[in-house]
Structure 1
Amino acid sequence: MGNTSEWPTEYLYKFIVPTDAKKIEEVENAFDNMGAVIKTHQSKAGKYTSVSINVMMESPADVVEKYIEVSSIEGIISF
């Protein structure tokens, strides 16, 4: 049997966005009112900002839905 998770569970999203306050805010707004813990870290050159988000998710489908929601942010990289 493979790895399985019990749902709901805490999920860690990681994104990289161009360092632009508006783009970072768009990512943060996607997780607004969800009790998410959001941490940002700017790259050495300052061109990009990583955004890590720990949040309780109800199901794998909800996780995918969030990835789809933020995919419209220009320049975002999800991993």
Structure 2
Amino acid sequence: MNSSKKSEEFYEKLKAQLYDTAMWPSEYLYKFIVTTEGSGIKDVEDLFNDLGAVINTNRSKNGKYTSVSINVRMKNPEAVIAKYKEVAENVDGVISL
């Protein structure tokens, strides 16, 4: 099975879970890991700035990585997944949690 098919299966499962666990629109907490050096933190923040998101960052113990937590009100599970995909396509080396 290729990674694209696995990704789509993951997103379908996530969408079902989101519909089952929340009333939409709802607050959603995104978590990403990026390297501290480079533009990854700013790139992630820029993708959420127009949504009125509350963004917090926390550097790892050795300072090499930074976690970016984003709390934002999303319209529906499809919007949540679309934002995950947008981040993956636009931020090099990002890890979505």
**Bucket of the pairwise TM-score, normalised by the shorter protein:** over 0.9
Calculate percent identity across the aligned residue pairs: 55
May I ask how many residue pairs the two structures share in their alignment? 78
Q: What's the counterpart of residue 75 of structure 2? A: 58
Q: Distance in 2 between matches of 1:34 and 1:14?
A: 16
Q: Distance in 1 between matches of 2:21 and 2:60?
A: 34
Q: TM-score, normalised by structure 2?
A: 0.76
Q: Which amino acid aligns with 1:42?
A: R
Q: What's the counterpart of residue 36 of structure 2? A: 19
Q: Which amino acid aligns with 1:50?
A: S
Aligned with residue 39 of structure 1, among 43, 49, 56: 56
Q: What's the counterpart of residue 86 of structure 2? A: 69
Q: Which amino acid aligns with 2:41?
A: I
Q: Distance in 2 between matches of 1:34 and 1:55?
A: 7
Q: Supply the RMSD in Å over aligned alpha carbons.
A: 1.3
Q: TM-score, normalised by structure 1?
A: 0.92
Q: Which runs of 5+ in 1 are unaligned?
A: none
Identify the structure with bigger relative contact order (alpha carbons < 8 Å, sequence gap 6+): 1
Q: Which amino acid aligns with 1:16?
A: I
**Which is greater in Rg?**
2
Q: Distance in 2 between matches of 1:8 and 1:54?
A: 13
Q: Distance in 1 between matches of 2:74 and 2:38?
A: 26
Summarize deviations over 1:5-46 as a string: whole Å, max 9, x none.
110000000000011251100000000121100000000101
Q: What's the counterpart of residue 78 of structure 1? A: 96
**Greater helix fraction, Structure 1 or Structure 2:** 2
